[in-house]
Chains A and B, each alone.
Chain A
Amino acid sequence: GESVGLHLPTLSVQEGDNSIINCAYSNSASDYFIWYKQESGKGPQFIIDIRSNMDKRQGQRVTVLLNKTVKHLSLQIAATQPGDSAVYFCASVSGYSTLTFGKGTMLLVSP
């Protein structure tokens, strides 16, 4: 079955640094990817998405990069702030199936 996994369970950065969170997926048929942010005690919150016909998409302070050759996805957060501290999940979907979520990476931002 499809699996989506993350390379690093915890990422610690200093405020103002750029953060990069990585994700690998196994299903080459995946055609849509989403990054979610989950703060403690809350449900996941949509950050940014990207379709498989793109390799880069930018949002406000966030950029998602997709490398279909190696089935790798990354989320870059510019000028990381303490409020960015959370668990970040990537999710993928193929066709009209349901989302498959990775285990998550915890981002810790020190002031």
Chain B
Amino acid sequence: GAGVSQSPSNKVTEKGKDVELRCDPISGHTALYWYRQSLGQGLEFLIYFQGNSAPDKSGLPSDRFSAERTGGSVSTLTIQRTQQEDSAVYLCASSSDIYSYEQYFGPGTRLTVT
């Protein structure tokens, strides 16, 4: 079946602009996660959604970052007033529920802020 998809695959933006990154999880998966991966680094947790519960936003680095998940499926990560340090690969993952640790990752969106 279809895996997790993300769009765009690459995004180049100017400093100060807003960007939106999209994630389509695996159908039926109720848990969705966003991570950030900087060059040569591990994965930094940003936010997760589980069903209709309030999202865990504890990993968001600043109030310029926000995410929403509409209808329990597609999620959008928004970065406002982008800075050069926001340049990274943004990965989305989904799992069948929050109690399943086996997360399926999308290919990521490479964001470059110039």
Contact = CB atoms under 8 A, between A and B. Distances in A.
Contacts of A89: 42-43
Contact of A44 (B40, B48, B105): B105
Interface in B73-102: 91, 93, 98-99, 101-102
Contact size class for B? 20 to 34
A43 B102 contact: no
Contacts of B35: 101
Main secondary structure of the interface of B (DSSP, over half): loop
Interface stretch (A59-67, A70-78, A92-100): A92-100
A49 interface: yes
Contact of A101 (B4, B42, B104, B106): B42
B45 A43 contact: no
B56 interface: yes
A41 interface: yes
B93 A32 contact: no
Contacts of A42: 107-108
A100 B59 CA distance: 11
Interface in A1-54: 4, 32, 34, 36, 41-46, 49
B33 interface: yes
Interface pairs A-B: 3 shortest CB-CB: A43-B105, A101-B43, A101-B42
